[in-house]
A and B are shown apart, each in its own frame.
Chain A
């Protein structure tokens, strides 16, 4: 294990962890419920670590892409339903990220939102075309580390650390009305969905194959998923805590992604704001690239096409045309004028609905000794995997009624 590569991998995972949905829901959760939803972020983070580690292990041992194995394990019909569900979820998420990144550029430059969406899609397509896989990941992930300004801002505003630590204990705040309880439940489900987006696992696993992982990389996989995602999640928790300390008492409702950036401007002024916006820009643009590639990976792997950005774009032409078409589709959705926040809500809702369907095959594959030989799920991974499957299934059942009853968390 090369320590430099490992450090870069962890830093990339940290910088690439937060996306537009996490950003919005972390800020809203903090301003609405203080620190009471921190434990849901922690719960979701353990979940995404469990499934990412499994998917990386499947890629390293079986050396076959998850969607190909999924099709073999589930059969053609159920495999196709899974592909379709994850495609829709990834496409809406990608559109939300494109809208988010266009909004950030609009704040930074004052240029029109739609123009920025078009420019950014062109820039992201060019970056995937030109850069090799490792550098696509690193450019967005490492520049996403500007988001560390949110953690620095939290330290600078001297928050009540005991209350933040208390937020890690599972809880429901006392004295809430029925309406507020439903909103709390909706926020819990939404945060779980945002932290455990299916695209993250598909991207991570396909990335393992892109980088030629083998059984020797098992430790890299474990360390990157555990450390990278835990530290990344700390950034989301910092945003929530800043929001609980600064926005909640002032009755500020962070309705748009840009509001979160103000958290850094309070202690650090103009430069804090610029760093926060830059961090958000790269983190959200990275998420847009990941959702788009994750979608193209799934389609190409299912149909048995050549795939991967370790090949030149013309060596995997159907894969190349697919990710380009998906980016253009996401752009078209944004250009219809649909509100970014609505896209975020739909991305969250649709993802949680399909989450059990997308994670079950992975759980079965990682536990299958025929594919995984001595690296199949052990008792801990098996217990955690099934526990999280039960949690996301319950969340999926509750998501739609909660969305309707709370008007998407707006009470």
Chain B
């Protein structure tokens, strides 16, 4: 594997949709976490606007936090079943703290009247 293909691996992981073991949509890959110092190894996928913190100027992150919050879920590599057009998990997203924002927002929405 060339240095170029390693970089590509990471860039292609970013923004991929994540589906849990029940095929529920759990967000997109916002960042990745590495382990090791000399030989980097993918350790986890980070999901949620909290993962943007180091990737943008302070004012931008403040704006993101105001609109979307700063929660961040962490998906360890051993919870990933496959990586393709989507990332598939071996467990429900709620076990990893994913979809917390949707659940919280859901409390404000009445479950009636829509066709």
Residues of A within 8 A of B (CB): 68, 71-72, 76-77, 80, 84, 129-132, 135, 299, 303-306, 312-314, 316-318, 320-321
Contact B49 A303 (CB under 8 A): yes
Q: Give Cα A312 to B113, complex, Å.
A: 10
Q: Give Cα A321 to B103, complex, Å.
A: 12
Nearest CB of chain A from residue B98's CB, rounded to whole Å: 10
Q: Which B residues are in CB contact (< 8 Å) with A316?
A: 102
Option from B27, B30, B110 in Cβ contact (under 8 Å) with A314 = B110
Contact A314 B14 (CB under 8 A): no
Option from B17, B106, B115 in Cβ contact (under 8 Å) with A304 = B17
Main secondary structure, interface of A, reads helix
Residue B109 at the A interface, CB < 8 A?
yes
Q: Give Cα A230 to B32, complex, Å.
A: 46
Contact B102 A77 (CB under 8 A): no
Contact B113 A129 (CB under 8 A): yes
Contact A305 B27 (CB under 8 A): yes
Q: Give Cα A317 to B107, complex, Å.
A: 8
Contact B101 A304 (CB under 8 A): no
Q: Which of B108, B110, B114 has the most CB of A within 10 A?
A: B114
Contact with A along B73-113 (1 / 0, CB 8 A): 00000000000000000000000000001100110111101
Contact with A along B27-71 (1 / 0, CB 8 A): 110100000000000000001010010011100100110011000
Q: Give me 22 A-to-B residue pairs in the complex whose CB atoms sit less than 8 angstroms apart, sorted by A's number.
A: A72-B14, A72-B15, A76-B52, A76-B55, A77-B56, A77-B60, A129-B113, A130-B115, A135-B115, A303-B67, A304-B15, A304-B17, A304-B28, A305-B101, A306-B25, A312-B111, A312-B114, A314-B106, A314-B110, A317-B105, A317-B108, A320-B109
- Nearest chain-B residue to A80 (Cβ)? B60
Given A72-B14, A314-B111, check contact A299 B105 (CB 8 Å).
no
Main secondary structure, interface of B, reads mixed
Nearest CB of chain B from residue A113's CB, rounded to whole Å: 29
Nearest CB of chain A from residue B71's CB, rounded to whole Å: 11
Q: Which of A129, A299, A314 has the most CB of B within 10 A?
A: A314
Number of B residues near A (Cβ < 8 Å) is 29
Nearest CB of chain B from residue A407's CB, rounded to whole Å: 33
Extra contacts besides A317-B106, A317-B108 (14): CB < 8 Å: A68-B15, A84-B63, A131-B115, A132-B115, A299-B68, A303-B68, A304-B17, A304-B28, A305-B102, A306-B102, A312-B111, A312-B114, A314-B110, A314-B114
Q: Give Cα A135 to B115, complex, Å.
A: 10
Q: Which B residues are in CB contact (< 8 Å) with A80?
A: 56, 60, 63-64
Q: Which A residues are in CB contact (< 8 Å) with B56?
A: 76-77, 80
Q: Which B residues are in CB contact (< 8 Å) with A318?
A: 101-102, 105
Q: Which B residues are in CB contact (< 8 Å) with A313?
A: 109, 114
Q: Which A residues are in CB contact (< 8 Å) with B25?
A: 306
Q: Which of B27, B60, B109, B113 has the most CB of A within 10 A?
A: B109
- Nearest chain-B residue to A304 (Cβ)? B28
Nearest CB of chain B from residue A90's CB, rounded to whole Å: 14
Nearest CB of chain B from residue A71's CB, rounded to whole Å: 6
Q: Give Cα A317 to B114, complex, Å.
A: 13
Q: Give Cα A317 to B25, complex, Å.
A: 13
Nearest CB of chain A from residue B12's CB, rounded to whole Å: 9
- Nearest chain-B residue to A135 (Cβ)? B115
Q: Which A residues are in CB contact (< 8 Å) with B15?
A: 68, 71-72, 304
Q: Give Cα A169 to B6, complex, Å.
A: 55
Given A68-B28, A305-B27, A305-B101, check contact A314 B63 (CB 8 Å).
no
Q: Which B residues are in CB contact (< 8 Å) with A317?
A: 102, 105-106, 108-109
- Nearest chain-A residue to B60 (Cβ)? A80
Q: Which A residues are in CB contact (< 8 Å) with B47?
A: 304
